[in-house]
């Protein structure tokens, strides 16, 4: 029904025509304001900032700008000439461009020229690459009739005749290529009269144990054992073995990188800690799969130190394994580096759940812009990022290089959307996924 103040009032013809024009203009203004609000909501921007004057402020939404390594932050906004400055942030959504703005310190010299490059991926994949990692401790390997156990990172060869003395079955060992063995350093040979080496695995009754420092450490559950090893790797023994190797008071639980649940909470395991994932959106955006979640008991949860929430801004912790979609190349995150797992056999020794998949293109694809001076002494750079939107991950890493040194006060980064059909479709799809994730129950295993 049209809104009409004059429904019961009779106006002169001239006044009525004037009123109708005013009424039409009022409706047009209302529709225009509604359209503007809809455009602002659908094609909204996300803004991030960092103040060099207040680097510890909770209002900073950009990770501390640094020179390559997090150990070398940019202090007081002083940018060195010719050095790459890195800064990161997590932005969810589909965007068309990123606009970087930064005003200079009033006493700083002007910027002659410079450029900014941006990449998009999971933040851990943007770490520098470290040394390749070999087989996991406890791995049983064979090649051309030679048998090995990986113990404390080293490849230890079984002396002739030792296999039957210690009770190993040849089928417990996996066949590997000679080149795969070179990623673990050679260790001391294993002799039958010296007993079992560290990282030997046993099954005693229905429980599993790992030998470390001449003590047997019990796995907290069969599920915990299966998150690290396969049953074929365990030697079956009776309780007499405890007379030689006493039981340790320190249990072993789930492998690093495992997803475990208790109640309605899901956690990531890393370095004897668990990180609670804050919501289903983070879980999915970080590449995790619900079918990989393992139900843990209250006692198992109690073995870990619970740390801060794992959010969309968090970096995947140590122990996370990634795999490329194109060629199944695997990487493991450790000590702020990504390490290649050089073969499928090596990756399988570490991995008992689905790796997080990504496109190798995300490590190579980038977009760039040149820095320009604007009004009032500020500088800006507008980068088209449409080509990055199909890549997995929510982390954007910017690399800025200035040809001359200067000092800046703060950084502003705005992610913006063009008004287009594709962005409208992406908005509707995002709303649907959020409703689904929030109100459709997920299949989280019960303890």
Domain regions of the chain by residue span: 46-113+371-416, 140-243, 264-310+421-447
CB count within 10 Å of CB 312 equals 15
Rounded CA separation 138/374 (Å): 61
Rounded CA separation 62/345 (Å): 39
Rounded CA separation 38/132 (Å): 50
How remote is the C-alpha of 388 from its chain's centroid? 17
Residue-level pLDDT, tens digit, the chain, 447 residues: 455 555 566 667 777 777 777 878 888 888 877 766 765 655 577 899 999 989 999 899 999 999 976 668 998 888 888 899 999 999 988 899 999 998 876 766 677 789 999 999 999 998 889 999 999 999 999 999 999 999 999 999 999 889 999 999 999 999 999 999 999 999 999 998 888 999 999 999 999 999 999 999 999 999 999 999 999 999 999 999 999 999 999 999 999 999 999 998 999 999 999 999 999 989 999 999 999 999 999 999 999 999 999 999 899 999 999 999 999 999 999 999 999 999 999 999 999 889 999 998 888 899 999 998 877 668 889 999 999 988 888 899 999 999 888 888 889 999 998 776 666 666 666 666 666 656 555 555 555
- CB contact at 8 A, 321 and 257: yes
Q: Is the entire prediction scored with pTM above 0.85?
A: no
Cβ neighbours for 174, distance < 8 A, ≥ 6 positions apart? 139, 140, 141, 142, 345
Say what the pLDDT of residue 43 is.
55
Nearest to 442 by CA among 282, 256, 224: 282
Rounded CA separation 53/59 (Å): 12
- DSSP assigned state of 404: S
- CB contact at 8 A, 359 and 324: yes
Beta partners for residue 284, in sequence order: none
Say what the pLDDT of residue 31 is.
80
Sign of the dihedral through C-alpha 324, 327, 332, 337: negative
Rounded CA separation 65/48 (Å): 13
CB count within 10 Å of CB 384 equals 15
In the 3-class helix/strand/coil scheme, how is 236-294 assigned residue by residue?
A: EECHHHHHCCCECCCCECCCCCCEEEECCEEEEEECCEEEEECCHHHHHHCCCCHHHEE
Assigned fold of 46-113+371-416: Jelly Rolls (2.60.120)
Q: What do you get for the CA distance between the two ends of the chain, in Å?
A: 57
Say what the pLDDT of residue 16 is.
72
Cβ neighbours for 26, distance < 8 A, ≥ 6 positions apart? none
Instruction: For residue 228, report the phi and psi dihedrals to the nearest 5 degrees.
Output: -120, -35
- CB contact at 8 A, 329 and 137: no
- CB contact at 8 A, 392 and 355: no
């Amino acid at each position: 029904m049209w809104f009409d103040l004059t429904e019961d009032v009779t106006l002169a013809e001239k006044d009525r025509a004037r009123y109708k024009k005013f009424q039409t203009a009022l409706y047009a203004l209302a529709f225009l304001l509604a359209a503007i609000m809809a455009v602002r909501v659908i094609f909204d921007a996300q803004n991030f900032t960092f103040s060099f004057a207040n680097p510890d402020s909770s209002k900073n939404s950009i990770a501390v700008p640094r020179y390559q390594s997090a150990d070398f932050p940019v202090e007081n906004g002083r940018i060195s000439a010719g050095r790459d400055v890195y800064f990161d942030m997590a932005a969810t959504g589909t965007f068309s461009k990123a606009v970087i703005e930064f005003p200079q310190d009033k006493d700083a010299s002007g910027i002659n020229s410079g450029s900014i490059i941006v990449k998009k991926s999971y933040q851990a994949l943007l770490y520098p690459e470290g040394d390749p990692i070999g087989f996991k401790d406890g791995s049983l390997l064979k090649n051309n009739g030679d048998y090995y156990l990986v113990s404390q990172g080293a490849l230890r060869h079984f002396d002739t005749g030792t296999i039957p003395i210690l009770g190993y079955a040849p089928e417990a060992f996996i066949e590997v290529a000679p080149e795969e063995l070179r990623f673990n350093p050679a260790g001391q040979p294993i002799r039958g009269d010296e007993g079992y080496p560290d990282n030997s695995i046993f099954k005693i009754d229905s429980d599993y144990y790992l030998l470390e420092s001449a003590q047997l450490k019990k796995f907290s559950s069969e599920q915990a054992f299966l998150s690290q090893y396969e049953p074929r790797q365990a030697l079956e023994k009776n309780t007499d073995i405890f007379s030689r190797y006493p039981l340790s008071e320190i249990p072993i639980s789930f492998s690093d990188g495992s997803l475990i649940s208790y109640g309605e909470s899901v956690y990531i395991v890393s370095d004897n800690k668990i990180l609670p994932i804050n919501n289903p959106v983070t879980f999915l955006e970080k590449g995790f799969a619900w079918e990989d979640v393992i139900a843990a008991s209250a006692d198992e949860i109690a073995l870990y130190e619970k740390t801060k929430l794992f959010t969309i801004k968090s970096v995947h912790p140590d122990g996370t394994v990634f795999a490329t979609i194109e060629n199944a190349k695997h990487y493991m995150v450790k000590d702020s580096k990504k390490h290649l797992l050089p073969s499928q056999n090596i990756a399988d020794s570490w991995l008992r759940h689905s790796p997080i998949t990504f496109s190798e293109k995300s490590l190579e694809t980038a977009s760039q812009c040149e820095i320009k001076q604007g009004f009032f002494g500020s500088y800006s750079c507008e980068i088209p990022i449409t080509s990055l939107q199909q890549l997995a991950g929510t982390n954007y890493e910017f690399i800025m290089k200035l040809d001359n040194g200067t000092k800046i006060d703060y950084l502003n980064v705005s992610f913006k959307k063009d008004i287009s059909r594709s962005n409208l479709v992406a908005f509707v799809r995002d709303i649907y996924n959020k409703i689904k994730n929030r109100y459709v129950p997920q299949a989280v295993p019960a303890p």
